[in-house]
Amino acid sequence: MLLTIPEVFTPEQVAEIRRLLDQAEWVDGRVTAGHQSAQAKDNMQIPEGHPIAEKVGERILSTLGQNPLFITAALPVKVFPPLYNRYAGGQSFGTHVDNAIRHVKGTSHRVRSDLSATLFFSQPEEYDGGELVIEDTYGLHSVKLPAGHLVLYPSSSLHHVRPVTRGARVSSFFWIQSMIRQDAQRSLLFDLDLAIQNLNQERPDHKVAVQLTGVYHNLLRQWAEV
């Protein structure tokens, strides 16, 4: 499933976060890349554990924790503390698959990456290129969203970031361990949840909604790892 979650942050909140991120020291992005992806990666990042990274990260996670679409789609168990990248001057990230297991620096915590997320902090008109291109069985999907919007996609998919040839592309990226490891099962639960919500809106108190909600929870009970 490839899903856009719009307006996670308002333009005012984006501007405030950008002010904070611009104050941080940015370093070569290869520090968080695995062996294979280090060869493909060319960008700048804020070091893990940097106070600004942690401050903004807490805002991102608390905001997403109250975002019904994010919760419904991701069914999160754990979220890796958000990281930040910046591409400019022709920088790009070649085709790769994200590492399966991420260690949270300085802790014994590990997160299995079921879903990858990119939260855009630059407006599309601020830069040329920089599209996140995700490959799946339906082909290539090019993603370039307004600032404050987030894209969620399976961490198992090949993806790359096209060269930024003008301006700068600033975003946050992180991984989610979902209660539902398999993308197909998670997508099915998401569709069922949306259908139940639509039914509740169009035919409030319809008794079928109770049955369908039962099916949703019984599937979740069978498949979930918490």
Contact mark string toward Ni ion, 50..89, x via CB under 5 A: ----------------------------------------
Backbone phi and psi for residue 42, each to the nearest 5 degrees, phi listed first:
-145, 95
Residue listed under structure tokens 């070091």: 47
Pick between residue 34 and residue 188 the one whose CB is nearest to Ni ion: 34
Residue listed under structure tokens 């890349």: 33
Specify the stretch interacting with Ni ion by CB under 5 A; choose among 38-46, 90-98, 118-126, 201-209: 90-98
Residue whose beta carbon is closest to Ni ion: 98
Within 182-221, the residues that bind Ni ion by CB under 5 A are none
Specify the stretch interacting with Ni ion by CB under 5 A; choose among 10-18, 48-56, 93-101, 218-226: 93-101
Pick between residue 93 and residue 189 the one whose CB is nearest to Ni ion: 93
Q: Name the nearest CA neighbour of 190 among 148, 154, 140.
A: 154
Which residues 6+ apart lie within 8 Å of 197 measured at CB? none
Pick between residue 98 and residue 114 the one whose CB is nearest to Ni ion: 98
Query: Rounded to whole angstroms, how far apart are CA atoms 119 and 171?
Result: 6
Q: How far is the CB of 142 from Ni ion (least distance, A)?
A: 15
Specify the stretch interacting with Ni ion by CB under 5 A; choose among 94-102, 106-114, 126-134, 207-215: 94-102
Query: Rounded to whole angstroms, how far apart are CA atoms 125 and 108?
Result: 41
CB 73 within 8 A of CB 193: no
Q: How far is the CB of 153 from Ni ion (least distance, A)?
A: 10
Pick between residue 43 and residue 122 the one whose CB is nearest to Ni ion: 43
Pick between residue 16 and residue 135 the one whose CB is nearest to Ni ion: 135
Which structure tokens are listed for 214?
């039962």
Which structure tokens are listed for 81?
């503390």
Pick between residue 118 and residue 122 the one whose CB is nearest to Ni ion: 118
- Looking at 39-182, list the stretches that DSSP marks H as alpha helix, in order from N- to C-terminal side: 51-64, 68-74
Q: How far is the CB of 205 from Ni ion (least distance, A)?
A: 45
DSSP label at residue 129: E
Binding-site member from 14, 29, 70, 98 for Ni ion (CB under 5 A): 98
Which structure tokens are listed for 213?
């909600």
Pick between residue 98 and residue 183 the one whose CB is nearest to Ni ion: 98
Q: How far is the CB of 98 from Ni ion (least distance, A)?
A: 4
Residues making up the chain, counted from first to last: 226
Angle at the Cα of 176 from the Cα atoms of 97 and 189, rounded to 5 degrees: 105
Name the residues that contact Ni ion, by CB under 5 A: 98
